[in-house]
Amino acid sequence: MRLMLVAGTTRTAEREGLSAAGATRDLLVHTPSADAEILTYGDTVRAPVTPVSPDGCPTPAAVTRAVRELLGFDATVVDGGLARPTGAPTVSVGAAPGRDIGEADPVQTAPGAFAAARQFGRSLPDEELVVGETIPGGTTTALAVLRALGEEWPTSSSLPENPVELKERVVGEAFESSEIAPGQAAHTPELAVRFVGDPVLAVASGLVAGTLEGETEVILGGGTQMLAVAALVRHAGVVGPLTLATTSYLADDVPELADATAAHDVDLVVTDPGFGGGDGFAASDPGPLSAYADGVAKEGAAMGGALHLAERAGRLDEVTTATLDVLARLRSDDGP
């Protein structure tokens, strides 16, 4: 079992009000690099900041790391267009940071990165792979990519109030400036990603396509961005068993998720980490994690996949305490 985190950036995230994956817009660009370090080391190393939402909700990477400490699985970070240095080791498949999707041709590296990630995935010796993503602004690019494939599914948001109108305006701009119209990239997923998407979608879909072709089982750990990855994989003509493992917070936010996964021959599993407290969970105070129960963040950095692994191992009730332990270590070096 190996967990792969595809970490990258799109400048689409710099638009005001689109993402909660950082305390400020200036800090968003560091989030994927920091998430990669937290997954790898349980601490930031080169990244200057521990990612939190504007109101202090901790990054889902802390949850994924906590589960990793509980279960001891391998984790590998793939560079899906990082824009800031990371101290985490990364696999390169030729992705570069994505430009704003309002620009023409914002992800020129997408076809090459898709192909390289696919070949890499085919060669992996693991029997099971969990794949997740970290890219601020990624639900907006995922919405545009789904539409380019001719699919109409809503995407979630890291904000408690999904800025749907703003997203629609950005996606509209993307199609205006690009060479493709909605539905026109149905059989060319790498072009959907190139013209209206982001580099993480290119790398993750290539990786998953190749991994399935190599007969490794794949669990997509995440929400509607990983749904877009599943759609891209199916539009590339790749069959094989796929599971989307997401959080209850995400599933509650997107009731269409069951239909959307079924439409792509993807099994859906939903895990509730119990950060809101309640029956069946350890009595530990979830502290800042209670923001998840209020609809902040919801998913990301393979959190849903990690929670599924914890539940499968019968250790879901240890996740809150383990995550609080990771957070305490993260805070301890932020200084007074």
Q: Euclidean distance between the first and final Cα of the chain, in Å?
A: 39
CA–CA gap between residue 76 and residue 54 (Å, rounded): 28
Return phi, psi of residue 292, to 5°: -60, -40
Residue 112 is a binding residue for a second copy (CB under 8 A) = no
- The per-residue DSSP string of 218-279 comes to EEEESSHHHHHHHHHHHHTT--S-EEEEEEHHHHHH-TTHHHHHHHTTEEEEEE---TT--T
Taking the complex as a whole, how short is the minimal distance between the CB of residue 193 and a second copy, in angstroms? 22
**For a second copy, which is the closer residue by CB, 83 or 166?**
83
Residue 207 is a binding residue for a second copy (CB under 8 A) = no
Residue 335 is a binding residue for a second copy (CB under 8 A) = no
Binding region for a second copy (CB under 8 A) out of 44-52, 240-248, 263-271, 285-293: 44-52
Binding region for a second copy (CB under 8 A) out of 34-42, 52-60, 287-295, 310-318: 34-42
Taking the complex as a whole, how short is the minimal distance between the CB of residue 135 and a second copy, in angstroms? 18
Taking the complex as a whole, how short is the minimal distance between the CB of residue 74 and a second copy, in angstroms? 8
The answer to whether the CB of 260 falls within 8 A of the CB of 227 is yes
CA–CA gap between residue 330 and residue 332 (Å, rounded): 6
Among 28, 78, 231, 316, binds a second copy (CB under 8 A): 78
CA–CA gap between residue 207 and residue 226 (Å, rounded): 12
Return phi, psi of residue 120, to 5°: -60, -45
Residue 69 is a binding residue for a second copy (CB under 8 A) = no
Taking the complex as a whole, how short is the minimal distance between the CB of residue 77 and a second copy, in angstroms? 6
Among 14, 103, 126, 128, binds a second copy (CB under 8 A): 126
- Residue 47's contacts (CB-CB under 8 Å, 6 or more residues apart) are 30, 33, 34, 37, 84, 86, 87
How many residues of this chain interact with a second copy, rule: CB under 8 A? 25
**For a second copy, which is the closer residue by CB, 89 or 183?**
89
Q: Positive or negative, the Cα torsion across 215, 219, 222, 227?
A: positive
**For a second copy, which is the closer residue by CB, 95 or 185?**
95
Q: What character string, x for contact with a second copy (CB under 8 A) and - otherwise, covers 144-183?
A: ----------------------------------------
